[in-house]
Amino acid sequence: MIKFADQFLSVVKDYETIIVFRHINPDNDALGSQWATVSFLRLLFPKKQILGAGLHQIVKGIDYPPSDQIEDYQFTNALGIICDTANHERVDDQRFSQCKSIIRIDHHPIHDLFGDVLLINEQSSSTCEILALMFKHIYIDPLPKQVAQYLMAGILSDTIMFSIPSVSSKTFQAASYLTQSEIKLSDIHASLFHYSEDEFVFINELRSNIKRSPCGLAYVVVNRAMLEKHNMHPNKAKEYIFALSQVKEFKVWAIFIEIEVEGKSLYNGSLRSQSVVVNNIANRFNGGGHPLAAAVKHLTLYQVTELIEECCQKIISEEVK
């Protein structure tokens, strides 16, 4: 980490314009890592132009800044820093390819080695964990409250309150460092995991529409009528996959959200699992992610059915093993 921190600073010092990216349909780890990086670099280099790129913004959590308006010419001689993004197609502003050099910081399984300088640790629980530990080497004092809050939101969200298998002693080292700042864990937790009465009703409707497969798969398909009924944005709706979790009998659970793309009805989905690896299935359906948590996008209803069948086959084959 110390070696990469030194390399990171060395590269950053060579550029006057630095643009920080995250993945499309960002979650709190994507937004938290992006805006923590932007804020941290603005603190260290107040005379440099540090910008945050991206088109998608809807996410349940703390308030993040709106993306900066960036003109095409600004990318040409810029350094791009891409956070929490597994493959180049998922970068939330494809103009990243115009940057002069790219640093990538991520914790997803490696299957797309784009970028010039890479800090990728698949064992880390989140990209925010990686950044917190790196910032600790660079900035000895407690981090400013805003930076620490962004990072803690990403860690709490991606680890589901420190409950997933990738949580390690380093995760708690990162969290311990962040709590030295003037953040309130209870406030961050409330912003991430508390929900309104309207959301409560939506969650109940999700649960009442769960479909079960004999193999141990549970899933729900959310159509646009349901979204409109609850005034729910598709990007936000997918986060409610937690409504299907913590059921012993559900070995894999999924949510599929109907969206409109060029006049066609397609579906974005999220997959979760207790122990069955699902990201290799997601890779074949316009997606990817972690072994037990993955996403897919722009599927037809027929492809959704195919994916469900593949998940069942995978569950059954795992049971046989």
Query: Tell me: the pLDDT tens digits for 224-235?
Result: 999 999 999 898
Please measure the distance between the N-terminal and C-terminal CA atoms of the chain and give it in whole angstroms. Answer: 38
189, two tokens: 């937790």
pLDDT of residue 321: 55
pLDDT of residue 56: 77
pLDDT of residue 236: 86
* Percentage, residues of the chain above pLDDT 90: 82
Strands 293-299 and 217-222: unpaired
pLDDT of residue 320: 56
At residue 265 the predicted structure's pLDDT band, cuts being 50, 70 and 90, is very high
Strands 217-222 and 252-261: parallel
Q: Can you say how many angstroms the Cα of residue 281 is from the centroid of all Cα atoms in its chain? A: 18
* pTM of the predicted model over 0.85: yes
Interval 88-115 mean pLDDT: 93
Q: Which long-range contacts (CB under 8 A, 24 or more apart) does 165-170 make?
A: 165/292, 166/107, 166/123, 166/124, 166/125, 166/290, 167/125, 168/123, 168/125, 170/124, 170/129, 170/133
User: Degrees (nearest 5) of the Cα angle 180, 183, 185?
Assistant: 105
pLDDT of residue 58: 67
Q: What is the pLDDT of residues 150-200, one digit of tens each?
A: 999 999 999 989 998 899 999 999 999 999 999 999 999 999 989 889 899
Instruction: Pick 290 or 41 by higher pLDDT.
Output: 41
Contact 96, 52 (CB under 8 A): no
User: Degrees (nearest 5) of the Cα angle 29, 205, 211?
Assistant: 90
Q: What is the pLDDT of residues 237-263, one digit of tens each?
A: 988 999 999 899 999 999 999 999 999
Tell which phi-psi region holds residue 217, choosing left (phi > 0), alpha (psi between -120 and 50) or beta: beta
Domain 2-192 matches domain 197-320 at the CATH topology level: no
Instruction: Pick 184 or 140 by higher pLDDT.
Output: 184
In the 3-class helix/strand/coil scheme, how is 215-263 assigned residue by residue? CCEEEEEECHHHHHHCCCCHHHHHHHHHHHCCCCCCCEEEEEEEEEECC
Instruction: Count CB atoms within 10 A of the CB of residue 257.
Output: 26
What integer best gives the mean pLDDT of the chain?
93
| Domains of the chain by residue range | 2-192, 197-320
With respect to CATH, is domain 197-320 assigned 2.40.50.100? no
Q: For 60-64, 89-93, 215-219, 297-301, which range has the lowest pLDDT when averaged over its residues? A: 60-64
Q: What is the pLDDT of residues 41-78, one digit of tens each?
A: 999 999 999 999 998 776 777 889 999 999 999 999 99
145, two tokens: 């409250």
- Using DSSP's 3-state secondary structure scheme, residue 266 falls into strand
- CATH class, domain 2-192, is alpha beta
